[in-house]
Amino acid sequence: MTPEQQARVRIDALLQQAGWHVCNVSDANIHASTGVAIREFPLDTGFGFADYLLYVNGKACGVIEAKKEGATLTGVELQSGRYAQGLPTALPAWRRPLPFVWESTGVETHFTNGLDPEPRARAVFAFFRPELLVQWLAYLPSSSSATAIGTTAQEAPGTFLTRMRSMPQLVTEWDSGGAHYALWPAQISAITNLEKSMAANKPKALIQMATGIPRSPRIAEPLFLACYIEKAGTGTLDMISQCAQAGLPAPEFRQDGGQFIQTLWRPKGADLVPGTESQGTKSGTKSGPSRDQVEILAKANTGAALTDLMTVAGRTNRTKFRDQVIKPLLDQGLLEMTLPDKPTSSQQKYRLTPEGAAWLAERATNVPNKP
């Protein structure tokens, strides 16, 4: 089979798994099931053939453009969009142009919902079931009814994005049980900005809902503005994100009696720098070497200037770098100065000691992933 034929075999299987009846034009019966997918359907003159024409409850509702695996789907929307406009006028349809458009290789699939206020393609994991499309098609305006002025998002028919654009005014103060309640300014801002992001079809803003809420927002806000803290309430997400970027498992969090315990994982082969154990007595409380320290030791194998080591670690403050990163390595005997009698000399370099070389060699053989 050609790559295109292989893609259609996969698409057939995905459609059938989603409850679609898949058939050829020659034996098509648009009433054979709630959802019917017809292969290689001829369109109006000048529009060619739709790889798949989808019928729901006896009316055409969408098309699928099939591409071979590895093909770039971005940009194909123009082609499949043309197919959505080419349905012969004699055939029943829910709307013209057809509202639902897919592009698929059988491995990757993009979907455009024409019922959204500003339709655009997005990646999906599978084809939707016909029953779901029936629910969405109910959002189509009826010729015999019109939406009343002042209708709220809960009352007005439409997709999620359509309703997000007609949200009612946020209630910020209310009375209940003889008490008066009011939202914090930060809460009002968060809710309002989230609604704006969702209305603009930017769902990644939902990630912010998983962040913590400062117990004292009036204290956290000035500390943030004064640059004493980074982002109030985002620490947990930052740790999860940075662990993922480093290729490490997500940190673990658990409650043990009255204690909150967090476990972070070191990269494979990362052993402890001698003498850097903390004073804690519990297992898992020892601090391992920073990635900066490991890279610096490797860089200083034959000697390196302070500025070269700063570049490796991505640091810009010489004093903090010398005190926080270099000095601990010097104190542990893993690193040494080439001019120990002239610590501030412009010719000063730092090189790996035999102890440091031995530690690096031992670390390279330690491959288990340790907490």
AA identity, residue 122: R
In the listed set 137, 153, 185, which residue is the last one of a domain according to the structure? 137
Counts of helices then strands in the chain (DSSP H, E): 12, 14
CATH code, domain with 352: 1.10.10.10
Triad 38, 44, 46: Cα angle to 5°: 120
pLDDT at 371: 43
- Residue 171 within any structural domain of the chain: no
Mean pLDDT score, 130-139: 92
pLDDT at 215: 53
- Residue 327 within any structural domain of the chain: yes
Share of the chain above pLDDT 70, in %: 75
Distances in whole angstroms, Cα of residue 212 to Cα of each of 22, 133, 220, 239, 340? 48, 37, 12, 13, 48
- Residue 184 within any structural domain of the chain: no
Note the pLDDT tens digit of each residue in 182-197: 988 888 888 888 888 8
pLDDT at 76: 76
CATH code, domain with 11: 3.90.1570.30
Note the pLDDT tens digit of each residue in 25-37: 999 999 999 999 9
Residue 9 pLDDT grade (very low, low, confident, very high; cuts 50, 70, 90): very high
Whether the predicted pLDDT of 336 surpasses 60: yes
- Residue 266 within any structural domain of the chain: no
Whether the predicted pLDDT of 271 surpasses 90: no
pLDDT at 126: 84
Assess contact for 60 and 51: CB atoms under 8 A: no
Whether the predicted pLDDT of 216 surpasses 80: no
Mean pLDDT score, 329-346: 87
- Residue 329 within any structural domain of the chain: yes
Note the pLDDT tens digit of each residue in 229-254: 555 556 677 777 788 777 788 787 76
* Helix ranges restricted to H, 2-76: 3-17
- Residue 34 within any structural domain of the chain: yes
- Residue 92 within any structural domain of the chain: yes
Cross-strand bridge partners of residue 176: 179
- Residue 12 within any structural domain of the chain: yes
Domains contained in the chain, number = 2
Residue 332 pLDDT grade (very low, low, confident, very high; cuts 50, 70, 90): confident
pTM over 0.95: no
Between helix 354-364 and helix 291-299 the angle, nearest 10°, is 120
Quote the domain boundaries for residue 40. 3-137
